[in-house]
Amino acid sequence: MAGPLPSPATGRALLAWYDVHRRDLPWRAAPGEVSDPYRVWLSEIMLQQTTVAAVRSYYAAFLDRWPRVNDLAAAEDGEVMAAWAGLGYYARARNLLACARVVAVSGFPATREGLRALPGVGDYTSAAIAAIAFGEPAVVVDGNVERVVARLTRLARPPKAARRAVEAAVEAMLPADRPGDFAQAMMDLGATICTPKSPACAICPLLHDCAAARHGEAAAYPVKAPKKARAVWRGAMFVPVRPDGTVLVRRRPERGMLGGMVEVFGSPWAAEIGDAADHAPFAAAWTAAGSITHTFTHADLTVDVFRADVAAETAAPAGGWWADPAAAGLPTVMKKAVTRALAMAEG
């Protein structure tokens, strides 16, 4: 961390701003009122990967139909899934129902640790509910908080790689008597003032405590994680060709890259594949047909292609079959290999 740790005074300045500028959100308790854990929980689950604007109408509809957690717990699965339709990430709806049914029996746990054990409630959500609904001084860190802290402290590393430093900064600001308001104030500041692209430093309540703003570098933070270097893979593919033009193929395993697709026989794709001949489907007069390249999202693949002309009665080894390459449903990289092998004979 390049800047000093924020102080409790920073936290108090944030709360003073929040008392005047807080967003009026339907799931928020009015100032001075106690938050309802059901409303906080429902809104936090809906807000995962979803914007406030998209959540509003769904939240209202759910609350209208299932005003208490016991009502939701008693709902049919299909009803809840249908009401969730359009909000996306449907695992959330399944977890929502599973969680409601646990809570209907034993009530909402009042601690972060207890909340964390509920279906669909992760680190962030458990901290947020514990702070907002139960007043636990939990450190709540989401993307907004990471961004604000990275700027306040000129955090030299990407926030995800400096989790402890981010938490320490939040802890240093956290007012023990108003942890829920503080968590919501950080969210509001990140959403309305300290925004990702154009932070409005001139009207920010934390301007005088902010190391990045002081250096005129607000937009340079948070520091981005370096892009991962692309992997470089090699491979070998073998294309035996029968007189009728059919080639030998097999199906890839269901899991992994090109899962379940048809492929020609060959080596795994890796930085090193050793002797290509070790990956041939059977002994034959294999001839090098050149190489092809293919670009995947995270890797560049170069494949040496081998061809052998084999007799019509050549049997397919276990897991393989002979197929017309034009009708075999080969993915692009396999088509390239077969095309190269077949072009060799013509050339």
Residue pair 312/243 in contact (Cβ under 8 Å)? The answer is yes
- Choose, by CB under 6 A, the member of 99, 145, 206, 301 that binds ligand SF4: 206
Q: How far is CA 341 from the centre of its chain?
A: 40
Q: Which of 44, 136, 217, 263 is catalytic?
A: 44
Interatomic CA distance for residues 93 and 90, integer angstroms: 5
Binding flags for ligand SF4, 135-164, as an x/- string (CB under 6 A) = -------------x--xx------------
Measured from the CB atom, the residue of 152 and 305 that comes closer to ligand SF4 is: 152
In Å, the largest CA–CA distance within the chain is 86
For residue 185, what are its two tokens? 């104030």
- Choose, by CB under 6 A, the member of 204, 323, 333, 334 that binds ligand SF4: 204
- Choose, by CB under 6 A, the member of 73, 102, 207, 258 that binds ligand SF4: 207
Q: What is the DSSP letter of 130?
A: H
- Choose, by CB under 6 A, the member of 45, 87, 194, 273 that binds ligand SF4: 194
Q: Report the nearest approach of ligand SF4 to the CB of residue 279 (Å).
A: 55
Q: Does residue 97 touch ligand SF4 according to CB under 6 A?
A: no
Interatomic CA distance for residues 234 and 211, integer angstroms: 47
Measured from the CB atom, the residue of 15 and 97 that comes closer to ligand SF4 is: 15
CA angle 80, 84, 87 (to 5 degrees): 165
Q: Report the nearest approach of ligand SF4 to the CB of residue 219 (Å).
A: 8
- Choose, by CB under 6 A, the member of 42, 193, 237, 247 that binds ligand SF4: 193
Q: Report the nearest approach of ligand SF4 to the CB of residue 204 (Å).
A: 3
Please report the beta strands in the chain, taking only residues with DSSP state E, as ranges in sequence order: 231-241, 247-251, 262-266, 287-295, 299-309, 320-323
Q: Report the nearest approach of ligand SF4 to the CB of residue 217 (Å).
A: 9
| Stretch in the footprint of ligand SF4 (CB under 6 A) among 14-22, 74-82, 98-106, 211-219 | 211-219
Q: What is the sign of the dihedral through the CA atoms of 178, 181, 187 and 188?
A: negative
Q: Write phi, then psi, for 294 (nearest 5 degrees).
A: -150, 140
Return the amino acid letter for 243: P
Measured from the CB atom, the residue of 214 and 242 that comes closer to ligand SF4 is: 214
Q: Does residue 284 touch ligand SF4 according to CB under 6 A?
A: no
Return the amino acid letter for 144: N
Interatomic CA distance for residues 150 and 193, integer angstroms: 14
| Stretch in the footprint of ligand SF4 (CB under 6 A) among 33-41, 57-65, 171-179, 201-209 | 201-209
Interatomic CA distance for residues 322 and 242, integer angstroms: 9
Interatomic CA distance for residues 341 and 291, integer angstroms: 9
| Stretch in the footprint of ligand SF4 (CB under 6 A) among 212-220, 245-253, 271-279, 295-303 | 212-220
The site that binds ligand SF4 (CB under 6 A) totals a number of residues, namely 15
β-bridge pairing 299-309 and 231-241: parallel
Q: Does residue 14 touch ligand SF4 according to CB under 6 A?
A: no
Is 44 part of the annotated catalytic residue set? yes
Which residues participate in catalysis according to the annotation?
44
- List residues near ligand SF4 by CB under 6 A: 148, 151-152, 193-194, 199-201, 204, 206-207, 210, 212-213, 218
